[in-house]
Structure 1
Amino acid sequence: MKRTLVAIGVFVVLLGVAIWYFSNIFIYLTISLVLATVLRPMTSQIIRFEVFGGKVPRYIAIFGSYAVVIGVLALFLVLFIPLISNQLEVLASLDFSAVFDSLVQPVRWVETFLINNRLSDGPSGFMVDSVRKGVVDFIHTMDFTEILNQLISFTGNFFIGVLAVGFITFFLLYENGILRRQVIAVIPNKYFEVFISALYKIERLLSNFLLGILFQMISIFSIAAVGLSIVGVNYALTIAVFAAIANLIPYLGPLLGGIFGIAVAVSTSGDFTFNNDTLILVAKVFTVFAVVQATDNLLLQPLIFSKSVKAHPLEIFVIIFVGATIAGIPGMIGAIPVYTVLRVSSTEIYAGFNQYRVFKIKS
Structure 2
Amino acid sequence: MNSKTIAYGILRAVAIIVGILGLLWFLYKIQSVLIYVAFAGVISLMGRPFVLFLKRKLKFNNTLAVVVTLFITIGLFLSIFMLFVPIISEQGQLIGEIDINKVGQDLDRLNQDVSDYLKVDKLNVVELIKQTDLMQFFDLKIIPNAINSFLSGFGAVLIGLFSVLFISFFLLKDSQLLENSLLVFAKKEDENKFMRAFTKIKDLLSRYFVGLLLQVSILFILYTILLLIFGVNNAIAVALIAAIFNLIPYIGPLFGGIFVLILAITSNLGLDFQTIILPKLTYILIGYLIIQLIDNFLNQPLIFGNSVKSHPLEIFLAILIFGLLFGIGGLIVAVPFYTAIKVIAKEFLSEYKIVKTLTKDL
TM-score by length of 2: 0.73
1:49–1:291 distance in 2 versus 1, CA, 3 Å = closer
Higher mean C-alpha deviation, range 299-308 or range 55-64: 55-64
3-state DSSP class of the match of 1:351?
A: coil
The 10-residue stretch of structure 1 (268-277 or 257-266) with the greater mean CA deviation from structure 2: 268-277
- Given that residues 66 and 172 in structure 2 are in contact (C-alpha distance below 8 angstroms), is that contact kept between their aligned partners in structure 1? yes
Match of 1:239 in 2: 238
Q: Secondary structure at the match of 2:350?
A: helix
Which residue does the alignment assign to 1:98?
A: 102
- Mark the CA change 1:209 to 1:134 in structure 2 (over 3 Å): closer, same or farther: same
Query: C-alpha separation between the residues in 2 aligned to 1:137 and 1:84?
Result: 21
Per-residue CA deviations over 1:14-48 (Å, capped at 9, x if unaligned) read 99947556433222212111211222343455557
CA contact 1:271–1:278 (8 Å) conserved in 2: no
How is 1:1-363 mapped onto 2 (pairs within 5 angstroms)?
17=24, 22-46=30-54, 58-105=62-109, 128-134=126-132, 136=134, 139=137, 144=142, 151-152=150-151, 154-184=153-183, 187-269=186-268, 271=270, 274-325=273-324, 327-351=326-350
Q: Give deviations 1:332-356, integer Å, cap 9, x for gaps.
A: 22222122212321232111689xx
Question: Would you say the 8 A contact 2:106–2:269 is kept in 1?
Answer: no
User: 2:45, 2:209 within 8 Å by CA — same for their partners in 1?
Assistant: no
Report the count of equivalent residues: 332
Cα distance in structure 2, aligned partners of 1:346 and 1:241: 37
Q: Is the 8 A contact 2:205 2:308 kept in 1?
A: yes
The amino acid of 1:317's aligned partner reads: F
Q: Indicate the larger mover: 235-244 or 78-87.
A: 78-87
RMSD after superposition: 4.0
Following TM superposition, where does structure 1 have runs of at least 4 consecutive aligned residues deviating by more than 6 angstroms? 13-16, 109-113, 124-127, 140-143
TM-score, normalised on structure 1?
A: 0.73
Q: Do 2:70 and 2:169's aligned partners in 1 also have CA atoms closer than 8 Å?
A: no
Q: Tell me, what secondary structure is at the counterpart of 2:331?
A: helix
* Residue pair 1:32, 1:168 contacting (<8 A) in 2 also: yes
Once the two structures are TM-superposed, the CA of residue 105 in structure 1 deviates from its matched residue by 4.7
Letter in 2 for 1:292: I
What SS does structure 1 have at the residue aligned with 2:249?
A: coil
Taking a change above 3 Å as real, the CA distance of residues 198 and 49 of structure 1, as seen in their structure-2 partners, is: closer
Residue 202 of structure 1: how far off its partner (Å): 1.9
Whether the 8 Å CA contact 2:48–2:206 is kept in 1: the answer is no
Write out per-residue CA displacement over residues 148-189 of structure 1, whole angstroms, 9 at most, x where no aligned residue.
665555544433321221111112123342222343466434
Structure 1 residue 90 displacement after superposition: 3.5
Take 2:43 and 2:126, find their aligned partners in 1: how far apart are those partners? 51
Query: Greater CA deviation, 262-271 or 333-342?
Result: 262-271
Amino acid at match of 1:84: I
Where in structure 1 are there 5+ consecutive unaligned residues?
Answer: 1-9, 118-123, 355-363
CA distance in 1, matches of 2:192, 2:172: 26
Q: Is the 8 A contact 2:323 2:330 kept in 1?
A: yes
Moved more, 127-136 or 25-34: 127-136
8 A contact 2:205–2:336 mirrored in 1? yes
**Deviation readout 1:271-323 (Å, 9 max, x if unpaired):** 46645312222223222211122222222233344443344444433433444
- Deviation per CA, 1:239-275: give whole Å up to 9, x if none: 2222222211212322232233234334344646645
One-letter amino acid matched to 2:44: A
Query: Which amino acid counterpart does residue 69 of structure 2 have in structure 1?
Result: S
8 A Cα contact 1:87 1:268, kept in partner: no
Q: Which moved more, 1:296-305 or 1:157-166?
A: 296-305
CA contact (8 A) 1:324 1:331 kept: yes
Q: Which amino acid aligns with 2:315?
A: I
